[in-house]
Chain A
C-alpha cells in the first residue's frame, strides 16, 4: 500500500468539499474493492475519504410504495432487514449471497453500485427492479446509471446517498458462481410488476450489467420457465475466460433465467 491522506467527514457537504481538495481522492464506503486493490499496490489514491461517519446514509425505510436503502447500508443489514425481506425478498436474498460474512458485514450497497463491477450482484437488482439512484445532486434511473464495466453516470464529486426500489409483484435472483472466485459468472434478476417484466444480467457481458430484451419479451408473453426455452441469448459481446467462454455464458443466461422465473413463481 502506498501512503495516502485520510479524511473522515461527517456530512455529505464535507465529503463534497474534501473531494474538491484532492486531485485523486477515493471515497471509502465498505472498502471491499478499494482496500484490496490498494494493498496490492494496484491503486494509489492521494486521499481516502471515509464515508463511515457521514450521517444519514445508513437507513432502510419504506417510503410510499418504495423501499429506500441508504448508500452505506451493509449487505448483511439488507439481508436481515424485516422490511426488505417482506417487501422484496429477492433483494434480501441477493444481499445475503454476496461474498462471505466478512464481505457482507463491511460491503455497502452504495459502494457496490458506484463501482459497477461487471460481476457484482446489486447492479442486476437495480436494473431489474427499476430502481432510482439518489445522489447529492440528482436522481438517476437505473437504466441510465450503468454505462458499462466499472462505468456509471456519476459525475466527479457526485455521491450516492440512497437507492430507491419500487416493490415488484414477483422477483427472484439466481446466480451461477465462478468456481474460483464465486463472483457471479452469470447472475439473472427477474422481476414482474403488472404486465411489465424486467430481466437483468450481470457477470456475462463485456459491457457490464444489461437488460435482456429477448428474454423480457418472451416472459411478457408468458411468465413461466417454459417461455424462455429456446430463446436465443446473444453472446457476441460476452466475456470469454478460462472459466467460461461466451457461448457457455450465453447458455447460462438462459438457464439461470428459467430458474429465476421458477423461483419468482414460488415453485
Chain B
C-alpha cells in the first residue's frame, strides 16, 4: 500500500477549503445584476384558490416581477415529474397527479408553492410576498395515511379518487401461504417507520442565469446529480434543450437524498431568469427546508413471519402503507417498492416472501428517498421480526439469527435480489466478541443495582448499493439508466484530471477518487484533481446516492484508467524502442522487461503529447480516455451492529452505553473516510430511533417545523463507536467495493429499538423512543414485574 493509494487513511484533501471557509456553495455565488426570489407558500394543507391578487405586490418597492402558475402555463413550462413508473397488482399504471411548480388552482400541503416575487433585495421580495392576496376555499385535508383511502375521504388528485397511488406487490403469494400453513410458530408485529425530515446543513438554493446572446441558461443549484437535473429540466419540464442549459452543482453541504430531486424552486429560478432578464437567486431558509424538502420514510406495516419448531424461518408476509405526500417527488414511487421489498429477506434464508405495498397521497410534504431509501424501512421490519421471533421462541437472538443466516453464495432470494457474496457469521462472531456479549448479564445486574434498566439489541442488516444495472432497473420501471461515466485526462507532465459523473456533497470523493488514481498510476494524490458537478465539464453522469459512487462511479474511473495505462504502454513502447508486449507498468514506471530501461509515468505522458517517437498514423497523440460503467448487479454490504443502552426508569432517558459496528463493505479505499460515513450513518439512525419524527397536526400544520420541536441528534446523544470490519470483496465490480454511505442509518434503528425492548421486557415501542415514550413503557414494564 502506498502512502496515498488504496487502503491508506489519507486525510481529506477538500477539508482545508471547507474548514477555512473557502468552500463555494450556491449561496456564496453572486451573479452580476442578480435579483432575489421569495416564494408565497400555502398556509393551508388543502384548499382551492378562488382568487389570486398580485396587483399590490407588483407595485411594492423594488419588485421586478410577480409570477404565478398561469405564467408558467403560458410559457409551456411543464410540471415536476416522477421518474419511476410503478404498476399496480392489476397492471394499471400508478396514478400520478400533476405537480405544477407554482399552484394552478389548488394547494395540497402547507408549504406548497403558489407564486414567486422577484425583487432587487431579498427583504423587498419578502415584503411583497405579504402583499399577495389569496382567497382560499378550505378543503378537508387528508393527514393520517391509515385513513387516506376511507370512503368519503377528500380527494387530493382527481386522477386518484381514493388517494391511492398504487397497490403493488412482490413475491410468491401461494408459496408464502403454504409456508404459513406448515408453520409451528408465527410472529406478528405492527410496525411504524417514522417520518423524517432530512436537514442537510446547507439548505437548498438556486441561481438561474440567462445569457441572451447565446440564448442559453445556467442553473447553479444544490444538487446531488446535476446531469439528472438538466435532463429533467430539459426533456420533461421544457426549460431549454440540453445544449442550452448548463447545471452547476458547486460545493454542496449534505444531501442525504433530499438534493437528488428536481424541485419547484430551481425550476422557477431558471425559468424566471429569462423572463426578468437578470439572474434570479433563491436560498431556502430552515423553515422552508422543513416544510418543502422531500421528507423520508413514513410507513405503516403489518408483518408476519412463519417458523418451524426449531426456529427456521419458513416464510414472511408483509403489508405496508407508504405515505408519498401530496405529490410524487422525483423518485418517490420506487422507494417503498423496489428499494424496499427486495431487501426484506435480510441476511436470512427465507424460502417464501410476499409483500404488498400501497402508496398513498396525503396533504403533507412529498416523501422521497432519504439516506438508505427503503432499505432502512425493510431492515427495521426484518430485524424487529427476528428479534421478537427469537424472544417468543425462547431463543438467544444472536443464535436465532445465526441459524437462519444465508451461508452459501451466490444466493437468490425470493424477492429479486441475488446476493453475490458475504460472510454473515464472521461479522456476528466479531461483533459478539467486540461487544463482550458474554458479560452482558453482569453489566445488566450492575445497572439494576443503580436502579437502571440495561438492554442489548442486534441488527444484522443487509442493503443493496451500487445502484444499479440499467437494464434491470429499466425492466422494473426506472426512467433512466444507472451506470456512471468517467474521463481521465492526463496532462503533458503527468498530472491528472478525472471528470466524474458522481457528485460529492460530503463523501470525500476528491480524496478517495484521487487515491484510486494514485494507486493505479503510481503518482501522488496531489497530482490528481477530481472534477465534478458541472454539466459543461463532465459529459454525463447519474450522480451520487444509494452508496453508488464507489461501486459504480469509481468502477467507471477504473475502466478509464485501464484504457489510459493501455495507451500509455503503447507510447512507452515507442519511446523505449521495445515491443509493447515487453512493457511492464509498476509503481508509476514503464519498463522493458528484463532490462534497466524505464520511463516514469510523467515522462510517458509527455511523450504522448509531443508525439516525437511515433507517427500519428501509428498511434493517436495525447492521453485521455473515457469510460461508461454499467454494473451487472447491485452490491450487498452487510454487517452486525450491537447497541447496548441504559434506561433511567424515572425519566425515560435512554443513554447508549456501547455501540459495536462490524461492517463488510468489501474492499475499502480510505478507512478513515469509511469510518466517518459509519459514524454519520449511525448518528442519523440513532436520530430516527430516539429523537427525530415529523409531526403534522390534524389540520396538516407541521408541528415540527423548527429545531425547537424537531430533534436532531447531537454529539452528546451518542457514545464512542467501536468499529470493526470484515471483508468479502464484491464479485461483480472491478474494485470489489460494496459501498458504505447508508449502512449506519440502515443498521442503527432496529439495534436501538431491540435494545430498548430488551431492557423493558416489552415487545413494542414506537420510534422515536422519546424519554416520554420510554418512561411510559418503563412504568408498564415495572408494574408488570411487580405483579409477577
Where the two chains meet, the residues of A that have a C-beta atom closer than 8 Å to any C-beta of B are 1-2, 40-41, 176, 179-181, 183, 241-245, 248, 251-252, 255
B695 touches A179 (CB 8 A): no
Q: A242-B709, A255-B651 are in contact. Are A179 and B771 (CB under 8 A)?
A: yes
A252 touches B703 (CB 8 A): no
Q: Which residues of B contact A176 (CB under 8 A)?
A: 651, 771
A245 CA to B773 CA, complexed, in Å: 10
Supply 13 A–B pairs (Cβ within 8 Å), ascending by A: A176-B651, A176-B771, A179-B691, A179-B770, A179-B771, A180-B691, A180-B704, A180-B711, A242-B709, A243-B770, A245-B772, A248-B776, A251-B650
Q: Which residues of A contact B652 (CB under 8 A)?
A: 248
Q: A242-B704, A248-B775 are in contact. Are A181 and B709 (CB under 8 A)?
A: yes
A251 CA to B771 CA, complexed, in Å: 12
Say whether B708 faces chain A, with CB atoms less than 8 Å apart.
yes
B709 touches A243 (CB 8 A): yes
Say whether B123 faces chain A, with CB atoms less than 8 Å apart.
yes
Q: Which residues of A contact B123 (CB under 8 A)?
A: 1
B707 touches A180 (CB 8 A): yes
Closest to B713 in A: A179
A180 touches B651 (CB 8 A): no
B708 touches A181 (CB 8 A): yes
Which 8 pairs across A and B sit closest by C-beta, in order of nearness?
A: A180-B711, A181-B708, A179-B711, A255-B650, A248-B772, A244-B772, A180-B709, A242-B695
The B interface is mostly helix, strand or loop, or mixed, namely loop
Closest to A244 in B: B772
How far, in Å, is A159 (CB) from chain B's closest CB?
29
How far, in Å, is B197 (CB) from chain A's closest CB?
12
The number of inter-chain residue pairs (CB within 8 angstroms) is 42
Q: A1-B123, A242-B703 are in contact. Are A180 and B708 (CB under 8 A)?
A: yes
A180 CA to B127 CA, complexed, in Å: 31
A41 touches B772 (CB 8 A): no
Say whether B710 faces chain A, with CB atoms less than 8 Å apart.
yes
> Interface 1/0s, chain B 618-652, versus A by CB < 8 A?
00000000000000000000000000000000111
A243 touches B651 (CB 8 A): no
A251 touches B126 (CB 8 A): no
Q: Which of B66-91 contact A (CB under 8 A)?
A: none
Q: Which residues of B contact A244 (CB under 8 A)?
A: 771-772
Interface residues on B, range: 20 to 34
A248 CA to B652 CA, complexed, in Å: 10
Closest to B653 in A: A176
Q: Which of B762-788 contact A (CB under 8 A)?
A: 770-772, 775-776
Interface residue from A41, A179, A181, A245 paired with B126 (Cβ < 8 Å): A41
A251 touches B775 (CB 8 A): yes
Q: Which residues of A contact B709 (CB under 8 A)?
A: 180-181, 241-243
A252 touches B708 (CB 8 A): no
Q: Which residues of B contact A180 (CB under 8 A)?
A: 691, 704, 707-712
A255 CA to B652 CA, complexed, in Å: 11
A181 CA to B710 CA, complexed, in Å: 8
B651 touches A252 (CB 8 A): yes
Q: Which residues of A contact B776 (CB under 8 A)?
A: 248
How far, in Å, is B775 (CB) from chain A's closest CB?
6
How far, in Å, is A229 (CB) from chain B's closest CB?
11
A179 CA to B775 CA, complexed, in Å: 14
Q: Which of B281-335 contact A (CB under 8 A)?
A: 287
A179 CA to B772 CA, complexed, in Å: 10
A251 CA to B774 CA, complexed, in Å: 13
Question: Counting chain A CB atoms within 10 Å of each CB, which of B287, B651, B710 scores highest?
Answer: B651
How far, in Å, is A195 (CB) from chain B's closest CB?
29
Q: Which of B709-724 contact A (CB under 8 A)?
A: 709-712
Q: Which residues of A contact B695 (CB under 8 A)?
A: 242
Q: Which residues of B contact A251 (CB under 8 A)?
A: 650, 775
B126 touches A243 (CB 8 A): no
Closest to B693 in A: A242
A181 CA to B714 CA, complexed, in Å: 11
A265 CA to B627 CA, complexed, in Å: 72
Q: Which residues of A contact B707 (CB under 8 A)?
A: 180-181
A242 CA to B766 CA, complexed, in Å: 14
How far, in Å, is A60 (CB) from chain B's closest CB?
30
Closest to B130 in A: A41
Closest to B714 in A: A182
How far, in Å, is B426 (CB) from chain A's closest CB?
37
Q: Which residues of A contact B712 (CB under 8 A)?
A: 180
A183 CA to B706 CA, complexed, in Å: 14
How far, in Å, is B15 (CB) from chain A's closest CB?
24
How far, in Å, is B551 (CB) from chain A's closest CB?
36
A243 touches B772 (CB 8 A): yes
A179 CA to B707 CA, complexed, in Å: 10
How far, in Å, is A73 (CB) from chain B's closest CB?
26
Closest to A255 in B: B650
How far, in Å, is B438 (CB) from chain A's closest CB?
34
Closest to A1 in B: B123
A41 CA to B126 CA, complexed, in Å: 10
Closest to B771 in A: A179
A248 CA to B709 CA, complexed, in Å: 17
A2 CA to B287 CA, complexed, in Å: 18
Q: Which residues of B contact A181 (CB under 8 A)?
A: 707-709
Q: Which residues of B contact A2 (CB under 8 A)?
A: 127
Q: Which residues of A contact B771 (CB under 8 A)?
A: 176, 179, 244
A43 CA to B680 CA, complexed, in Å: 37
A242 CA to B701 CA, complexed, in Å: 14
Q: Which residues of B contact A248 (CB under 8 A)?
A: 652, 772, 775-776
Q: Which of B692-741 contact A (CB under 8 A)?
A: 695, 703-704, 707-712
Q: Which residues of B contact A179 (CB under 8 A)?
A: 691, 711, 770-771
Q: Which residues of B contact A245 (CB under 8 A)?
A: 772
How far, in Å, is A147 (CB) from chain B's closest CB?
24
A61 CA to B711 CA, complexed, in Å: 39
